[in-house]
Structures are given as structure tokens and as C-alpha cells.
């Protein structure tokens, strides 16, 4: 479904591709799904690694956050690398790094292997995300590039949902739970390597680091969008990093397939709501997403992962809110004139939201326990939701165009303009124009001002050429010296 398109109103069913470029677009979409699925394969397996290697909750959250911490500089500094090296070279480099990451997890003997594997996955996805997304937009017809961008973001989230669910099922019901998911991922990467051969390797520019820059006129809108995206990925990061271990300790869930299903519910609900963003608009999508996040985070704060039904309800609410909030935040800055620099800064907020709160939970868990730490941080995120919502509403007031000002203010402004114009007209000296005969000069004083005019020449009326009625043309003024001399 992702490779062919999705639906029409908010998104992307029947995306029209440029002639001869449909295969390249499908290759880029397939690669996004495979890379994101591999990046989130370890999520339901963290309790398994923790029991096997005996590391702390802080180490577990650091392993998860390593992906986000590495992706941030790669995305910011090497976003235009595909222009210098060509998209095919960058995509194949990302595939190779993703294979290295899967191999590190498959043959891991201590937490160091896991950290190296997460770093490799972050490098792979950070380098390929920009190149694959740009390729999808280039392959689409010019009228459908907006839909193609939505399709790329949906493929990204669907891959994120497919990874935990597939890993949980394979680990629970198949042999070699620490090896088989990554072996399957390596096979999918091999197919991607073969398909990327059809992608052109032409270079279109030079590599230049694209540092985040926020124009002065976009700072309020960017702050609201960044806060919304930060909270959206904070909620998703809590589920992907700590909920698997919390379900095992507090709720006694040892079935990795159930754990993977709970994690997949978050991202699947997110993928289902993202196509609604174009229909709702950026501001309303952010507000609706924040409401969903508040419900999900409140439920998570109440249970801390200690109840499977409540945690599943929190996953659904968080997923619905995540899709609208994440999509609305991205759409809020899509019309900015300096879209590249602002987008880099926005994704910086996204990745920090995914990594930093999870590490904070790990720090608190060492003293207060994982369930309590999860509840506290979820409650803190709920407190931030109204503040971010006020910032989003503030952007609507500040960014309101003059045409949408209140009616009373508009009427008063127009009335003041008319009165000022009338006062200026009444205070100015008036000149009376009269018809005069040929070869005569009229002298008339009005308001202590002398006006000298020559007789006007008759001009035929435009509506009735040749008729008896004529219209006089403006009479040229003559210098006072000539009038005095009797000319």
C-alpha cells in the first residue's frame, strides 16, 4: 500500500510520478521502511539484553538514545551530502552502515556492541533520510510533490511500527531470538542494495553544512512547532525505550510479541492520523495532537506501565496524538522561505525529544525505580502540554493577516481614512472651471489665488463622435508674466 500510494484527501493515493521514475520512487520508499524498521528492531528486546548482560536502566536508555544523539549531527551537517556525492552513493553507504548495526546486535557480547550498533543505525538513517526523501520528491510530478512528501513521512512511521512488531513476534515464536530478526533485516538490506542500482548517481552541487537558522519572523511559529514535536517524540520515546522493561517488571509481561504489539500500536496509530493533517491544517492538527498526547501521557503517568490495558490505551492515545502533532509541526514551517535551515532545526528538536527524556528516566530509575520514574516524567510532559498549546494559539493571533482583522476595527479604520481625506479636501484652495469662448482669457480669484487660463479647445465626445455636444479638454495654464504683458 505504501509503495502505490495511500488515499486522496489528505494524502497520497494516486501520486503521479514523472515519466520513467516510478521505480526510483518505490525504491526510496522501500529503503525508508527497511531502514526505520531496522533502527527500531531492538526496542522490544531491551529486557532480553538487560537480563543477558546485566546492565542498569541508565545503560538501557543510553543504548536507545545513542541512535538519536548520533542522528542529530549527521542530519544537520551532512544533509546536503547527497548533492556532492550523488544519491546512489549516499543510499548505498547508509545500507552498509545499517548492515553493520544489525551485525553488532546479532553478535553482541556486551553493552559496548549495542552502543556501536545503535550508533551505526543512527548514522545510516541520518544520512539516508534526506537523500531518500529528496529522491521521492524529485520523482513525483510537480503537482503531486506535496502528496509525495506526506507519503515519505508515512513510510518512515510505518517502518518504525513494523520493526518492534516483527522483532517481538520472531523473538517469541521463532528460534534464535537475538539473531533471527537481524538476519532477516540483513536480507531486506541486500534487496535494497540491488534496487538502488537503478537510482542515478549524478551530482548536483557541493557539500555545505546546513546549520540551523531561524529567521526573525518565524521564531514564534518555530518555537510552537518545535515544542509540539518535542512532546510528540518524548511520548513515543518513552514507549520505545522504557515501556518494554516496565511491562515486564510491573505487569509481569514476558511475551515479547505482546510487548512488540504495544509499541507498534503507537506508531501504527500515528501513521493512520498523519494523512489528516492537510485537511485539518497545521494549527488545528497541532492542537488536536497535543490533546491526544495529554490523554496518552496522563494514562501512562497513572499506571507507569503497571497495567497492560491502561498502557495499551495510553499507546493508542499517544499514537493518535503523535501523528497529528508531528505532522502539524512539520506542516507549520513547510511554507517558510528558508525551509532547509528551519527544517534542520525542527528535526533537531524532534531527535532531542526522542532521546533526552528517555535518558532522564534512566537517571531517575537508579534511585526511585523505573515505574516511578516513568510516571514522573510522563506527568511533567502533561504539565507542558497546555503551555505549548498556548504558544500554538499565539501563532494564530500574531500571524493573522490584515484581511482577517475584527470587523469593528476595520470599519473604524476605514471611517478615519475617509474623514481625514474629507478634511484635507475642504481645507485646500478651490479652483472654479468655466467654459469660455475661443480667443479669450479669464482671470478669477478664489481663496486669494489668481488662476490664469487660456480658452479650452473643443473635443468631440467619445461616446457620440461628431455630435453637437462637445467636451472641453483641460486648459493649459500660462505664466503670469505673459498675461501681464498682454499676450
Distance CA 256, CA 416 (A): 72
Task: For residues 427 and 421, give the distance between their C-alpha atoms in angstroms, rounded to a whole number.
Answer: 10
> What's the confidence (pLDDT) of residue 464?
47
Per-residue pLDDT band for 366 (boundaries 50, 70, 90) equals confident
Grid-cell match 556486551, residue found: 110
Question: In terms of Cα–Cα distance, which of 397, 61, 10, 388 is closest to 229?
Answer: 388
Q: Is the pTM of this model over 0.85?
A: no
* pLDDT mean over 32-60: 91
Residue 379's pLDDT is 94
E strands within 371-453?
A: 442-445, 450-453
CA end-to-end span of the chain: 91
Considering only residues 486 and 145, tell me which one the structure prediction assigns the higher pLDDT.
145
Least Cα distance to 271 among 130, 134, 152, 355 occurs for 152
Q: Which range is least confidently modeled, 218-222, 385-389, 448-452?
A: 448-452
Name the residue with higher pLDDT: 409 or 227: 227
Contact 284, 315 (CB under 8 A): no
Reduced to 3 states, what is the DSSP secondary structure of residue 105? Answer: helix
The pLDDT assigned to 199 comes to: 79
CA-to-CA distance for 398 and 145, rounded, in angstroms?
29
Q: Contact at 8 Å (CB) between 281 and 249?
A: no
Using left for φ > 0, alpha for ψ between -120 and 50, and beta otherwise, residue 86 falls in left
pLDDT at 441 over 60: no
pLDDT(337) > 80: no
Tell which wins on pLDDT, 217 or 237: 237
Contact 328, 279 (CB under 8 A): no
Q: Are strands 450-453 and 442-445 parallel, antiparallel or unpaired?
A: antiparallel
Whether 430 shows a pLDDT value over 90: the answer reads: no
Residue 380's pLDDT is 94
- Between 76 and 359, whose confidence is greater? 359
Is the per-residue pLDDT at 11 higher than 90? Answer: no
Number of Cβ atoms within 10 Å of the Cβ of 157 = 27
**Picking from 24-33, 139-148, 267-276, 420-429, which range would have the lowest pLDDT averaged per residue?**
420-429
Q: Among 52, 132, 59, which residue's Cα sits nearest to residue 90?
A: 132
Q: Which residue has the cell 506535496?
A: 146
Angle between helices 243-250 and 256-273 (to 10 degrees): 140
Q: Name the 3-class secondary structure at 460.
A: strand
CA dist., res. 354 & res. 36, Å (int): 14
5 in helix, strand or coil? strand
Q: Give whichever of 15-19, 73-77, 104-108, 331-335 has the largest mean pLDDT.
A: 104-108
Instruction: Note the pLDDT of residue 390.
Output: 93
Average pLDDT rounded to a whole number, residues 414-443: 49
The CA distances from residue 175 to 113, 167, 244, in Å, are 22, 12, 20
d(C-alpha 385, C-alpha 180), whole Å: 40
pLDDT band of residue 8 (cuts 50, 70, 90) is: very low
What are the Cα distances from residue 143, in Å, to 12, 14, 207, 274? 12, 12, 28, 20
pLDDT digits (tens, 9 = 90+) for 286-322: 999 999 999 999 999 998 888 889 999 999 999 999 9
**Residue in 190, 196, 207, 220 with CA at minimum distance from that of residue 391:** 220
**Does the pLDDT value for residue 451 go beyond 50?**
no
Distance separating alpha carbons of residues 56 and 366, to the nearest angstrom: 8
User: Is the pLDDT higher at 364 or at 479?
Assistant: 364
CA distance 361 to 354: 12
Q: How do residues 49-97 score in pLDDT, each as one tens digit?
A: 998 898 899 999 999 989 888 887 777 666 566 666 777 888 888 899 9
For the ranges 103-112, 222-231, 282-291, 410-419, the lowest mean pLDDT is seen at 410-419
Q: Helix, strand or coil for residue 319? A: helix
Amino acid at each position: 500500500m505504501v509503495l502505490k500510494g495511500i488515499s486522496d484527501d489528505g494524502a497520497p493515493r494516486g501520486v503521479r510520478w514523472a515519466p520513467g521514475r516510478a521505480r526510483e520512487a518505490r525504491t526510496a520508499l522501500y529503503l525508508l521502511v527497511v531502514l526505520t524498521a531496522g533502527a527500531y528492531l531492538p526496542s522490544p528486546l531491551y529486557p532480553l539484553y538487560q537480563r543477558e548482560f546485566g546492565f542498569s536502566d541508565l545503560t538501557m536508555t543510553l543504548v536507545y538514545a545513542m541512535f538519536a544523539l548520533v542522528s542529530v549531527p549527521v542530519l544537520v551537517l551532512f544533509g546536503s551530502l547527497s548533492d556532492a556525492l550523488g544519491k546512489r552513493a549516499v543510499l548505498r553507504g547508509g545500507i552498509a552502515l545499517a548492515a553493520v548495526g544489525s551485525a553488532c546486535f546479532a553478535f553482541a557480547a556486551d553493552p559496548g556492541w549495542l552502543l556501536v550498533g545503535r550508533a551505526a543505525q543512527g548514522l545510516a538513517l541520518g544520512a539516508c533520510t534526506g537523500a531518500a526523501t529528496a529522491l521521492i520528491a524529485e520523482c513525483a510530478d510537480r503537482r503531486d510533490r506535496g502528496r509525495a512528501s506526506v507519503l515519505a513521512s508515512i513510510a518512515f512511521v510505518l517502518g518504525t511500527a513494523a520493526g518492534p512488531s516483527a522483532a517481538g513476534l520472531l523473538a517469541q515464536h521463532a528460534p534464535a531470538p537475538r539473531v533471527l530478526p537481524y538476519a532477516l533485516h540483513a536480507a531486506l538490506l541486500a534487496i535494497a542494495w540491488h534496487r538502488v542500482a537503478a537510482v542515478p548517481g549524478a551530482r548536483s552541487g557541493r557539500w555545505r553544512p546546513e546549520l540551523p537558522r531561524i529567521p526573525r519572523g518565524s521564531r514564534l511559529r518555530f518555537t510552537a512547532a518545535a515544542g509540539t514535536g518535542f512532546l510528540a517524540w518524548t511520548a513515543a520515546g518513552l514507549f520505545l525505550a522504557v515501556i518494554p522493561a516496565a511491562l515486564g517488571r510491573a505487569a509481569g509481561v514476558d511475551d515479547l510479541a505482546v510487548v512488540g504489539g504495544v509499541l507498534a500500536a503507537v506508531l501504527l496509530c500515528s501513521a493512520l492520523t498523519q494523512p489528516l493533517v492537510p485537511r485539518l491544517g497545521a494549527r488545528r492538527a497541532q492542537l488536536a495532537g497535543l490533546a491526544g498526547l495529554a490523554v496518552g501521557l496522563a494514562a501512562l503517568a497513572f499506571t507507569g506501565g503497571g497495567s497492560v490495558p491502561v498502557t495499551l490505551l495510553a499507546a493508542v492515545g499517544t499514537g493518535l496524538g503523535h501523528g497529528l502533532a508531528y505532522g502539524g509541526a512539520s506542516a507549520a514551517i513547510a511554507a517558510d522561505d528558508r525551509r532547509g535551515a528551519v527544517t534542520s532545526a525542527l528535526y533537531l528538536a524532534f531527535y532531542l525529544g526522542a532521546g533526552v527524556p528517555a535518558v532522564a528516566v534512566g537517571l531517575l530509575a537508579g534511585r526511585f525505580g523505573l515505574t516511578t520514574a516513568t510516571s514522573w516524567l510522563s506527568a511533567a510532559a502533561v504539565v507542558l502540554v497546555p503551555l505549548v498549546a498556548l504558544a500554538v494559539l499565539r501563532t494564530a493571533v500574531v500571524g493573522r493577516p490584515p484581511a482577517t482583522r475584527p470587523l469593528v476595527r476595520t470599519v473604524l479604520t476605514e471611517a478615519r481614512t475617509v474623514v481625514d481625506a474629507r478634511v484635507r479636501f475642504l481645507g485646500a484652495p478651490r479652483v472654479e472651471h468655466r467654459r469660455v469662448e475661443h480667443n479669450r482669457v479669464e482671470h478669477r480669484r478664489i481663496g486669494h489665488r489668481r488662476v490664469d487660463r487660456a480658452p479650452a479647445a473643443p473635443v468631440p465626445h467619445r461616446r457620440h463622435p461628431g455630435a453637437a455636444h462637445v467636451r472641453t479638454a483641460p486648459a493649459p495654464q500660462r505664466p503670469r508674466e505673459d498675461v501681464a504683458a498682454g499676450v
